[in-house]
Amino acid sequence: MEKRHENALTDVLETVAFNGFASVPKWRVTRWYGQVNLTVNIRRDLRDRWKALISEELDWSEVPTLRMAEVHGSLILMNKENFFSDKE
């Protein structure tokens, strides 16, 4: 992965950390990794980078679970288990 792509990915993960979610086109993620499809290895690497960002760079005591969903050609990343809570 090129350095500029690592920086862009870090920006996306920081957005997830502070806003709760982020969306990025799936083609962009696969291009960053030099792949054609969104593979299990890409998902694993995203989770590893997420854990490193949260625990090492942001120094949070607890690492929220990173959730991923493919929606209409985009990869939605979320950091909350119950993103749509019943409470308002």
Note the pLDDT tens digit of each residue in 24-71: 999 999 999 999 999 999 999 999 999 999 999 989 888 999 999 999
On whether residue 65 sits in a domain, the answer given is yes
- Give the total number of structural domains in the chain: 1
pLDDT for 32 equals 95
Environment class of residue 75 by beta-carbon count within 10 Å: exposed (0-12), middle (13-18) or buried (19+)?
A: buried
| 70 in any annotated domain | yes
Question: Which run of H or E residues covers position 14?
Answer: helix 3-19
Give the model's confidence band at 80: pLDDT under 50 very low, under 70 low, under 90 confident, else very high. Answer: confident
Q: Which residues pair with 81 in a beta bridge?
A: none
Q: Grade residue 84 by pLDDT with cuts at 50, 70 and 90.
A: low
Looking at residue 86, its pLDDT comes to 57
> Does the residue 10 lie in any domain?
yes
Which residues neighbour 42 within 8 Å (Cβ) at sequence distance 6 or greater?
Answer: 29, 30, 33, 35
